[in-house]
Amino acid sequence: MTSTFNGNEDAALYGNRFATREVPTREFPARGMPALDAMRLVGEDLALEGDPARNLATFVTTWMEPEAQRIIAENLHRNFIDHAEYPRTAEIEQRCIRMLADLFHAPGETTGARTQGSSEAIMLGGLSLKWNWRTRRAAAGASASSPNLVFGGDVHVVWEKFCRYFDVEPRIVPLQPGKYTIGPEDVRAHIDENTIGVAAVLGTTFTGHKDDIAGINDLLVRIKHERGIDVPLHVDAASGGFVWPFLYPDSAWDFRLEQVRSINVSGHKFGLVYPGIGWLIFREKADLAEDLVFTENYLGKTDSTFTLNFSTGSAMVLAQYYNLVRYGRAGYTYIMKNMQANARVLGEKLAAMGQFELIGADEEQLPLVAFRLAADNGFDEFDLAWQLAAERGWMVPAYTLPPDAQQVTIMRALVKETMSREHVDTLARDIAEACATLAKKGGAHELERNRIITGPGH
């Protein structure tokens, strides 16, 4: 009998060549490979990753309806920036901007931009603050050489990035142990005629709470009347912009407040769209500095752009519109209330274990549970995060808070649309078991902690 092993031919017939061979990782491949092999190579790499359904670190959408997935799959070949070629897509973007402006109580006709996420929206919003401040300074015949921006230590890292990338002095109000958001009393001392704006957060990355936006607005109104300095307020509603209107409709944080001039929101977080889609919405057209809008005609028609990226996909814009019309206010409210109800059950179960302290569970909060160990049981939050990942594949991050609350370590579990009651019950049991295991064996090795824990997610 001849040998039955026939190299590449058998691999093509019965499996794929990477069952036994190393995959290409460094050199640009001289020749390619069959499509099936390439597909399996990528798929097998990804099989080693975490399961997005158990990723409770991320705010970003991990599930969409099959109909939305179909829209996405059917429109991956459409470049969003080709407005001349795809005018209906551009119109759908404008519809989304108008609907979000309506949701955020814009007083009249306004404008905005579709972005890759909140980070791009914040860069563009920050630039507009800077440009408008320069115009105000020029009108007053004053120097515009040292702009500053005021925000709390509870902001996402993107605000510090904006300041460094675009040469603005960050005036960061430190947090304190037990105080993880900011209010007017924190902001007052930092404001002067070089302040391009104040950034406040609706739904912080760390604990899911909101800054005292109404209080900061009142302070800025007072400063405008008493000192003649008109400081705009930008609300970073990356997560909260799709939560507060539905869970806390009477809580004013948006354009109902006089000084709120611009808002960013991530469509790919509680807007329930896959990454990446974000939105920047201005209160009025005049809040967008005209100088930042560029006009070109090389795609077939004179067109204006206000973006950092140029080419990008249309699919997520279409998916956002799908969600807005598919769910409407009633649908978003239903989904947000489900998440909130399940977050509350998880919080109650953790509290009942007697080992945890919940962070601000009785305040307005994103649908999540922020918690910490109430006592020293021989292990810490980093150990628990590691044990949960190792035992059950749950990704629940542990992280320290920003200065001056850096000695506080917390954990945070996002409760998203796919986190059913059954998942909540299972997670609570798994946390209890992980605690029992850790109580017996003690904390994880220091090295393991450093390798696994990466921060609060995004």
Ligand X SMILES: Cc1ncc(COP(=O)(O)O)c(C=O)c1O
**Contact residues: ligand X, CB under 6 A:** 59, 117-119, 156, 158, 201, 205, 236, 238-239, 266, 278, 458
**Which DSSP string corresponds to 122-172?**
HHHHHHHHHHHHHHHHHHTT---S--EEEEETTS-THHHHHHHHTT-EEEE
Name the token pair of 181: 């958001």
Name the token pair of 8: 């590449």
Residue (283 or 412) nearer to ligand X, CB: 412
Residue (118 or 194) nearer to ligand X, CB: 118
Residue (186 or 383) nearer to ligand X, CB: 186
Residue (18 or 248) nearer to ligand X, CB: 248
Shortest reach from residue 98's CB to ligand X, in Å: 21
Shortest reach from residue 121's CB to ligand X, in Å: 8
Shortest reach from residue 251's CB to ligand X, in Å: 17
Q: How far apart are CA 406 and CA 154, in angstroms?
A: 11
Name the token pair of 248: 């806390």
The amino acid that residue 134 corresponds to is R
Q: Where are the alpha helices (DSSP H) in 296-420?
A: 315-352, 381-392
Residue (119 or 355) nearer to ligand X, CB: 119
Residues 280, 259, 366, 185, CA torsion sign: positive
Residue (119 or 217) nearer to ligand X, CB: 119
Q: How far is CA 233 from CA 151, 197, 198, 223, 335, in A?
A: 10, 6, 5, 13, 29
Q: Which residue is nearest to ligand X (CB)?
A: 117
Residue (369 or 373) nearer to ligand X, CB: 369
Shortest reach from residue 117's CB to ligand X, in Å: 3
Per this entry, what is the length of the chain? 458
Name the token pair of 437: 């295991």
Shortest reach from residue 420's CB to ligand X, in Å: 23
Shortest reach from residue 5's CB to ligand X, in Å: 49
Q: How far apart are CA 35 and CA 30, in angstroms?
A: 16
Contact between residue 434 and residue 391 where contact means Cβ atoms under 8 Å apart = yes
Shortest reach from residue 421's CB to ligand X, in Å: 26
